[in-house]
Structure 1
Amino acid sequence: MASVTQRLENLPLGKWHWRLLGIIAVGWAFDAMDTGIVSFVLPKLMAIWQLSSAQIGFIGSMGLVGMAVGAALAGTLADYMGRKKVLAATLLIYGLGTGACGFAWSYESLLVFRFIVGFGLGGQVPVAVTLMSEYSPTKYRGRMIVLLESSWAFGWLAAAIISYLVIPKYGWQLAFYVGAFPVIWVFYLWWHVPESAHYLIKKGQLQQAHELVCSVERSLGVPCGEPPQESDVAAPAKSVFSLAKLFTGPYLKKTICLWILWFGVVFSYYGIFMWLPTLLVKAGHSMVQSFEFVLWMTLAQIPGYFTAAALVDKIGRKPTISAFLILCAGTAYMFGTAATWNEILIWGCLMSFFNLGAWGLMYTYTPELYPTEARASGTGWAGAFGRIGGMLAPLVVGAMFTGPDKFSLVFAMFAGVLIFIALNVLVLGEETMNKSLEATDQSKSC
């Protein structure tokens, strides 16, 4: 007799899964939209409040600090309290925080609100990806998670459109009010997103998990599986999964691999994309050209995600992630040596294509390496450590870029980082394609 989780992971991909993906993706897109809106609002605030470059940088850093704290705490809480509750709570927190940014009356008040927003944003991501992983059929799980991450690009495009249409005519406050929409979306999510069946089983609620999976089976036209026997009921978890456990026995190699991967990917992303318009201007290009380039670069992310989604369930996690990282390294190096506008555009778009594709693959890979009781915690702490890379990257680039002649050096550095983390995946990583989450629960080993 198939277990409850086996029934769930062997289901055909259908309308129920796409609906769940759409609901969670809306929250993810608003995560990206909020991050994008801030980048468009800050130049306006710099003029209105007479802020220095250091103060502007600190606003961005405060959001990243909040993300790190939120990712670590929300992941741990989701393994203890449930995925659905924490997902709803983090959406509510960053929605309220974003709306509050529109009421900011000073630099200091905005710092506080940006920390709150960052906490919600950082907390939502590991919980959302864990829940989606636990409801995706095994053979389609990689594709579903990469598609979830692709909503980030659409959120950024929405931020650009809203900022273009709203800020000049109605002011920067309204842009933040629009970003508070997740406060409303929480109610829809609460009524239409179920708790994770994997989580319920780990808490000893096997009958409730069976009824939940039965409802999914019926919606997909699949006969409901047999109810579980009393002997199948798992002993409920007695304690919160701790950070220390991630560095013990079966988890050690996985944690080291993922923390290096997250640090390097987040370091490269924030180092490249936060500085890109400034680097291009300092290298001799006009402001108009730099913004035009960033727009094309953002559009190039979308096919990058879709290509990663098409490959991840066909050739495997390790080869796909490693290939995207190595190709991103090569294009980053070529971007640093590009001399003409056409060369910058081509290599830059390819760099964006592979970098954001790697992000989607990383979100697929991370929750697959941990068992249910550690899945959200492990994903959250990996994300939190990655945010440290995001905080350090702008500082490193600022220290290295002392003139136009240093442009190639900066991108050679990023190429080296990307190659290193690709080798890390090849050496320390394990292949998880077509491996059920139940098998991960049972093995708990490298």
Structure 2
Amino acid sequence: MKTIEINPIIDNARFTRFHGMVVALCALLLIFDGYDLFIYGVVLPALMSEWALTPVQAGALGSYALFGMMFGAFIFGPLADRIGRKKGIAICFVMFSLATFLNGFAKTPAEFGIYRFIAGLGCGGLMPNAVALMNEYAPKRARSTLVALMFSGYSLGGMLSAGLGIYVLPRFGWQAMFHAAAVPLLLLPLIMWKLPESVGFLVRQGKDKESRDMLARVNPDVKIDAGATLVSTDAKGVGVPMLDLVKDGRAAGTIMIWLAFFCCLLMVYALGSWLPKLMAGAGYSLGSSLSFLLALNFGGMAGAIAGGWLGDRFSLPKVVVAFFAVGTVAIALLGFNSPMPVLYLLITIAGATTIGTQILLYANTAQFYPLQMRSTGLGWASGVGRTGAIVGPLLGGSLMAAALPLKMNFLFFAVPGLIAALAMGVFSLRCGGSAHPTRANPVTRQAPLHALRAEQTR
């Protein structure tokens, strides 16, 4: 009986409408995800005024969703390896959309925090699974670019949240911002109909016909015999214990990835939660303060796409190091008096090198782990990183309460960028030549196409 390995079929596929559909659907999901995550920074000034919150209380309230994201990443990453990524994504999507909608009815900070925690569970679970699904189906020579394009939906969601806030907040209040989160649920039937299941999961489940049909859509140029047995070199079993992430020479890479995630997400959520409030405190109007958040997310989208393009042509870890270094400088400079065009430029660069670099970290992590532990690896990296996301709003609240000069706030926000650059520098030196030990590294410059058939780096 003929045996066919599925990974080279996917790796060497040309870009088709199927790939475009996967990019579009995952990007759409992340638009809603990004909206739900950045909405807190948009409504924070109104919440602090209505509920008389101190900066420390506001920072703690902002961390509720991020606690949820941490647990969501830990839970739904490994769970999707067992039940399938499509089901895992759908569960997470419904969870965060409903909880965010209910946030608009909260009467007290405690009630608000409970709904934000539940929404965070869904948001934290959706991200790693969407990245893993996109990474699985993307042709190898364009993998980083396609993952970055997909993840630009996250920044678009942040832009949508800030842009909608400029119009909605003065007219309808902060509750309407949360009520709008119910609208995406109308697209759930379309998502369930069109979003493909992981082909690796189908192979593990022994669903050969569905696997063959899926591969025919991924790579129409390859003809698969009906009697052929499909296998994945990486598909050793269902579910992977967390300890496998540090076995077989992966320990150093895993630890450096976790440290980079922690620092990056600290910066993303410190800026996302407190940038409008900091700028309002510096004398800018509410509209101007929210437009800074808009510029931050625009930069995140541009940085992700540019970084993905560079990562497919050069070493992705080295691109991440460069982005962190530039971000450290840009964030530090935000606290100094600058002309408005320079300020917008610095904020855009800060977004490109924090939000954008977060997206590159997901792509780098997805390429570091083999297929059978990819959701688990992404889930744990994201979950550990969420501790940094939790610290970010708390740090911002503490700094606001201390009434430090504006420049000191941004200097504190910049320090994690330097630490992350050093961590990814170590990753590049230790793991830049082998994504998984004994295998060629998909995180570095791509191999020639004729060599890809010999590589099993998924």
Change (3 A) 1:110 1:437: farther
Partners of 1:310 and 1:438 lie apart in 2 by 24
Q: 1:166 to 1:343 in 2, by over 3 A?
A: closer
Which shifted more, 303-312 or 331-340?
Answer: 331-340
**Aligned counterpart, 2:79:** 77
Q: Are the counterparts in 2 of residues 201 and 233 from structure 1 also a CA contact under 8 Å?
A: yes
- Displacement of 1:105 after TM fit? 3.3
Contact 2:44-2:277 within 8 A present in 1 as well = no
Give the corresponding residue for 2:436. Answer: none
Q: Name 1:387's counterpart in structure 2.
A: 386
Q: TM-score, normalised by structure 2?
A: 0.86
Q: Which amino acid aligns with 1:425?
A: F
Deviation at 1:159, TM superposition (A): 1.2
C-alpha distance after superposition, 1:305-329 (max 9, x if no partner): 2311321211131222122122222
Q: 1:432 — aligned with what?
A: 442
Query: 1:40-59 counterparts in 2 under 5 A?
Result: 40-59=42-61
Q: Report the Cα distance in structure 1 between the residues aligned to 2:110 and 2:453, rounded to whole angstroms.
A: 45
* 2:189 partner amino acid: F
8 Å contact 2:256–2:424 — kept in the other structure?
Answer: no
Matched, 1:214 2:216: yes
Structure 1 residue aligned with 2:377: 378
Residue 134 of structure 1 contacts residue 437 of structure 1 at CA under 8 Å; is this kept in 2? no
| Secondary structure of the corresponding residue to residue 182 of structure 2 | coil
Structure 1: distance between partners of 2:215 and 2:340: 54
Partner of 1:126: 128
Equivalent position to 2:88, from 86, 89, 93: 86
Matching residue of 2:143: 141
**Per-residue Cα deviation, 1:367-393 (whole angstroms, up to 9, x for no partner):** 111112210011001000001011123
Distance 1:165 1:340 in 2: 26
Give the partner amino acid of 2:346: W
Aligned equivalent of 1:298: 297
Aligned position for 2:39: 37
Residue from 17, 20, 26 that aligns with 2:28: 26
Whether the 8 Å contact between 1:301 and 1:352 is mirrored in structure 2 is yes
**For residue 318 of structure 2, what is the aligned residue in structure 1?**
319
- Structure 1 window deviating more from structure 2 (80-89 vs 346-355): it is 346-355
Q: Secondary structure at the match of 2:128?
A: helix
Q: 1:406 to 1:323 in 2, by over 3 A?
A: closer
Between the aligned partners of 2:312 and 2:234, the Cα distance in structure 1 is 33
- Alpha-carbon displacement from aligned partner over 1:134-160 (angstroms, at most 9, x marks no partner): 111111111100011111221112112
Structure 2 equivalent of residue 328 of structure 1: 327
Q: Go from structure 1 to structure 2 and tell me whether the alpha carbon gap of 1:189 and 1:424 turns closer, same or farther (over 3 Å shift).
A: same
Counterparts of 1:70 and 1:231, CA distance in 2: 32
Preserved contact between residue 235 and residue 372 of structure 2 (Cα < 8 Å) = no
Q: Is the 2:335–2:408 contact (alpha carbons within 8 Å) kept by the matching residues of 1?
A: no
CA distance in 2, matches of 1:278, 1:233: 50
Q: CA deviation at 1:302?
A: 3.1
Between stretches 186-195 and 379-388, larger displacement belongs to 186-195
441 and 350 in structure 1: CA distance in 2 versus 1, 3 angstrom threshold: closer
TM-score (norm 1): 0.88
Cα distance, 1:51 vs. partner?
A: 3.8
Confirm or deny: 8 A CA contact 1:397 1:410 kept in the other structure: no
| Aligned AA (2:404) | G
| 2:64–2:116 Cα contact (<8 Å) kept | yes
Partner AA of 1:92 in structure 2: V
How big is the shift at 1:172? 3.1
Deviation at 1:337, TM superposition (A): 5.0
Q: Out of 177, 180, 183, which is 2:182 matched to?
A: 180
Contact 2:72/2:120 (<8 A) preserved:
yes
> For the structure 1 residues 111 and 373, does the alpha-carbon distance in structure 2 shift closer, same or farther, using more than 3 Å as the test?
same
Moved more, 363-372 or 431-440: 431-440
Residues 300 and 352, structure 2, Cα contact 8 Å, conserved in 1: yes
State the AA in 2 paired with 1:254.
Answer: G
The answer to whether the 8 A contact 2:103-2:116 is kept is yes
Q: Match of 1:162?
A: 164
Shift of 1:59: 2.2
1:68 aligned partner, one-letter code: M
Q: What code does the residue aligned with 2:199 have? A: A
Q: Alignment partner of 2:271: what SS?
A: helix
Shift of 1:72: 0.8
1:286 is the counterpart of 2:287 = no
Cα shift readout 1:50-69 (whole Å, capped 9, x = no counterpart):
44434332221110000000
Change (3 A) 1:407 1:77: closer
Q: CA deviation at 1:2?
A: 5.4
Q: How many residues align?
A: 438
Q: Distance in 2 between matches of 1:182 and 1:85?
A: 17
Distance 1:418 1:5, change over 3 A: closer
Q: Deviations over 1:2-22 (max 9, x none)?
A: 533322221110221111111
- Give the gaps of 5 or more residues in structure 1: none
Please state how far the C-alpha of 1:80 moved relative to its aligned partner.
Answer: 1.2
Q: Quote the Cα distance in structure 2 between the aligned partners of 1:4 and 1:106.
A: 52
The amino acid that maps onto 1:60 is G
- The whole-number CA distance in structure 2 between the counterparts of 1:336 and 1:160 is 21
Please state whether the residue corresponding to 2:148 is helix, strand or coil: helix
Unaligned runs of 5+ residues in structure 2 are: 433-440
**Alpha-carbon distance in structure 2 between the residues aligned to 1:5 and 1:415:** 35
Counterpart CA distance in 2 for 1:232 and 1:410 is 50
Structure 1 counterpart SS, 2:250: helix
1:101-132 Cα shifts (integer Å, max 9, x gaps): 12323322222111110000000000010011
